[in-house]
Structure 1
Amino acid sequence: MNSKNWIEALPKAFNEYRNGRNLDEVECIIPDLAGMSRGKAMPHYKFSPKQTFFLPISLFYQTISGEYVDMDIENQWMEKDIVLRPDISTACAVPWAADCSMQVINDLETRDGAPLAVAPRTVLRRVLDLYAAQGWKPIVAPEIEFYLTKPNTDPTKDIEAPIGRTGRKGARQQPFSMVAVDDYGAVIDTIYDYAEAQGLEIDTVIQEGGAGQIEFNLMHGDPMRLADRVFYFKRAIQEAALKHGLYATFMAKPMRDQPGSAMHIHQSVIDTKTGRNIFSDEAGAPTEAFYHFLGGSQKHLMEVVPFLAPYVNSYRRFAAQMSAPTNLEWAEDNRTTGLRIPHSDAAGRRVENRVTGADTNPYLSLAASLAAGYLGMMNAVAPRDAATTEVYQSEQDLPASLSAALRLLEQADDIRAVLGEEFCTMYCNIKHAELEEYQREISPWERQHLLLNV
């Protein structure tokens, strides 16, 4: 396939964005453990879908601060190359670039052609392959919350809400306010423009409960495709905000007295032969598969919290008791439960995981959430009785810290087997190292209240 042929064969959305222009640059990218974009940029003539590109595997050995972590890995610091395989179906625009540019997500392999076990896309594909072996296909729809903020160039200072078109700071507790959404209309318009150029399908946009807090819902579909879209969309949102002199943050809890940000995950499963939602029977009633998915979610989501709440800051969202469930109880149309069954018809019956934070890697949080439901269905795990009232505390609350969550993951043999033992071991090592880094820091609260009072 020559250069012209592969360019013409790119996804429709990209070629509409290109509109006959010459392609200038290609970004060959992968999602790292944090879900951020890493890779190589090159002139278009250096790229081909059949070309082999390489990156050092050591990029998976870093904490969020960039520190490298020594682990029990043979010849770890040889920094062997891993192979990038472009998934040309993911090619999309880089609409904030000055020239016509393209980004494409790559799968990762070892030099002998095996999928790289620690790559986030590989982890999600492992789970999806297990579903496929049963004749099932998961369907997901993520809801992405984030804050627009004033630029924060000094980490010692508090993050502040932005100034909208009214000239006033955004006010909290204005959920679903169209006036509040319009206050940041210029940024949202740019987000829409970028999303359209990238072929990302937006369902709805709403004002959330925090000052400058926005939620975008994406159309439901295949989990890998949706993880790719969240991966792209987060970067597009941040670039749109920067264009207007603001920051967009997906921190779980960026401001003390504001609600946290989540990434709720709606999940259902269809039979690949019939196309029927297996959570509903022919009469429209809930099935055993539905209840077992719930049972598995209650049992195993407790073990995968480090993928749903991956940083120290993630647990501040739970501790604040502000719109963030800290339990894994379930109920129909009850937003105080960690597992909510939204009102729908039988075909749309689904389980909404409400405990996942906006700061997660979408590939890993989707893999973990679907893995929990899969184990429930395979092992016929019965759920607890549905909650009938508001739930603010339960007998099995989520772990209160990253260290407590890691202890549960380290003992969870079944879930580690599904996600991959090598990956889980490396991930826990990285998270323990991040905890050690954090423990060395002295916070403003400590200086304020301990310096002269103890």
Structure 2
Amino acid sequence: MMPPAKKEVRPTTRGARARTPAFVKNKRGVKNWKEASEWLEWRGIEDIECITPDQAGVARGKMMPSSKFTSNTSLALPSAPFMMTISGVYPEDGNGFAYPEDDGDLKLVPDLSTLSVVPWEDDPTAQVICDLVHQDGRPVEFTPRNVLKRVVAAYDKLGLRPVVAPEIEFYLVRKNPDPDYPLTPPVGRSGRPIGGGAGYSIAGVNEFDELIDDIYHFSEAQGLEIDTLIHEEGAGQLEINLRHGDPIELADQVFLFKRTIREAALKHDTYATFMAKPIQGQPGSAMHIHQSIVDKKAGKNIFTAADGAETDAFFHFIGGMQKHVPNALVMLAPYVNSYRRLTQAASAPVNNKWGYDNRTTAFRVPRSDPAGRRVENRIPSSDANPYLALAASLACGLIGMNNKLPAEPPILTTANEDEIDLPRGLLEAVDLFESDDELATMLGKSFASTYAAIKRAEFETFMEVISPWEREYLLLNV
């Protein structure tokens, strides 16, 4: 008979264990480099991924041994990855954009408050989100995390603190190694392909029990908190809601959630996609953003007066979104595919109207108590870079408050079957974006010119591809 297996015990004495500082057990974040060294050592971390989001929200960066990470090593990246299209093409110079001739190094500065494990790796691995600065320490204006920080800082100067809560929809689909073939829904535990019309169905969620368990486990290990998870209307379409909080922290969480969900899906031989419209005939995927603004000194929501009524700031915030969000649409719907989601007679709005608990409007004011009054931006799609989507939405609201822009009357009926208030395609959206000087100033003109150039280049790349529709209807008929 085999002796019972010994329980693994960390090589430490009882006294040493009692002296273990509490911060090393934090699942997410430390305060300084000394704490980072102890945090990594306590977990036996071998490698660390130093990552930062590019314009598409893709993780770029470097991996290194943890011993090198904590030895005051200087980290650098070229500017090129932040001036590149989703297909790896670089835009042409012009319209205020110029590619730097020297392509000099930018410095990666780890934000130690984001330090966490990478739970899907076999070897003990950690990750940390980094900011980018120039060699003299100035923030790099055109990188997404710095764009959001710039907008949050503009609120801070006024004594205000934005509070946001994103909701992210995504699809699970069968593996699709050949991009010429349409995506199809996955097979769940029932053994049958998943069908549509399963909105809020618990049985629909249960089809993917093991995969969802991995999402929860991976998220918990990283200190990421899921508020709720539901099955949406589409076949294999799920939605994750996050707890409300600081915009930069929430953008970081969405950035990491996307990595987490993709990795969990791959573990189960499935793809997770955040494309806005991945399957023809199925609903698109959104990233709805709930927003409120707090007076930092008073600690109260400025959308609500002392008597519980709506304030001028509330209406001005909505007025700013109504006027400027159409110009910022390219940051909320960043790809050609994004505009396939924005169609009439759908829950994805093509208007700039607002209403009380009206899901056909672009800007919905959900039912809540006065202290929880907020504005939900229903326009962004799930393919949007979370840093840029939050920056754009909050910037538009702040411009409205600064300029005291009036809001139009709320819509009491269906708002998505009449006129179309938003650009219908990527190039039109870029044109509007470039025409809004006030928005460019708020976001940073270097970012605005870089982002517009990237989007024009992406459209030109898309135009090189011949679609199945063209082959079906034009090949033998014209």
Q: Calculate the TM-score normalised by the size of structure 1.
A: 0.96
**Aligned-pair distance for 1:260?**
0.2
For structure 2, which runs of at least 5 residues remain unmatched after alignment?
A: 1-20, 31-38
For structure 1, which runs of at least 5 residues remain unmatched after alignment?
A: 1-6
**Aligned-pair distance for 1:321?**
4.3
CA distance in 2, matches of 1:373, 1:396: 21
Residue of structure 1 equivalent to 2:408: 384
Residue of structure 2 equivalent to 1:440: 464
Q: Does 1:424 align with 2:424?
A: no
**Aligned-pair distance for 1:51?**
3.1
SS at match of 1:13: coil
Residue of structure 2 equivalent to 1:3: none
CA distance in 2, matches of 1:252, 1:272: 36
Amino acid at match of 2:169: E
Which structure has the larger Rg?
Answer: 2
SS at match of 2:167: strand
Q: 2:69 aligns with which of 47, 54, 64?
A: 47
Q: 1:211 aligns with which of 217, 228, 235?
A: 235
CA distance in 2, matches of 1:417, 1:322: 33
CA distance in 1, matches of 2:342, 2:361: 13
Residue of structure 1 equivalent to 2:434: 410
Contact 2:40–2:66 (Cα < 8 Å) also in 1: no
Q: Does 1:161 align with 2:185?
A: yes
CA distance in 2, matches of 1:9, 1:52: 25
Q: Does 1:35 align with 2:57?
A: yes
Residue of structure 1 equivalent to 2:8: none
CA distance in 2, matches of 1:13, 1:275: 28
Amino acid at match of 1:334: N
Amino acid at match of 1:208: E
Q: Does 1:141 align with 2:200?
A: no
Displacement over 6 Å in runs of 4+: 15-19
Contact 2:344–2:350 (Cα < 8 Å) also in 1: no
CA distance in 2, matches of 1:75, 1:322: 40
Q: 1:118 to 1:11 in 2, by over 3 A?
A: farther
Residue of structure 1 equivalent to 2:248: 224
Which string of whole-angstrom CA distances, capped at 9 and with x for unpartnered residues, describes residues 237-288 of structure 1?
0000000000000000001110000000000000000110000011111110
Residue of structure 2 equivalent to 1:235: 259
Q: 1:124 aligns with which of 116, 126, 148?
A: 148
Contact 1:10–1:88 (Cα < 8 Å) also in 2: no
Residue of structure 2 equivalent to 1:261: 285
Amino acid at match of 2:121: A
Q: 1:283 aligns with which of 303, 307, 311?
A: 307
Q: 1:366 to 1:348 in 2, by over 3 A?
A: same
Matches within 5 A, 1:319-330: 319=343, 321-330=345-354
Q: 1:46 to 1:320 in 2, by over 3 A?
A: farther
Q: 1:12 aligns with which of 4, 20, 26?
A: 26
How many residues were matched structurally?
450
**Aligned-pair distance for 1:162?**
0.2
Amino acid at match of 1:281: A
Contact 2:28–2:114 (Cα < 8 Å) also in 1: no
Q: 1:397 to 1:292 in 2, by over 3 A?
A: same
CA distance in 2, matches of 1:330, 1:410: 25
**Aligned-pair distance for 1:8?**
8.2
Q: 1:175 to 1:13 in 2, by over 3 A?
A: same
Contact 1:315–1:402 (Cα < 8 Å) also in 2: yes
SS at match of 2:398: helix
Which string of whole-angstrom CA distances, capped at 9 and with x for unpartnered residues, describes residues 60-92 of structure 1?
121100112232566724221000111000111
Same amino acid, percent of matched pairs: 50
Q: 1:432 to 1:97 in 2, by over 3 A?
A: same
Residue of structure 1 equivalent to 2:87: 65
Amino acid at match of 1:104: V
CA distance in 2, matches of 1:407, 1:74: 18
CA distance in 2, matches of 1:95, 1:8: 21
SS at match of 2:412: coil
SS at match of 1:84: strand
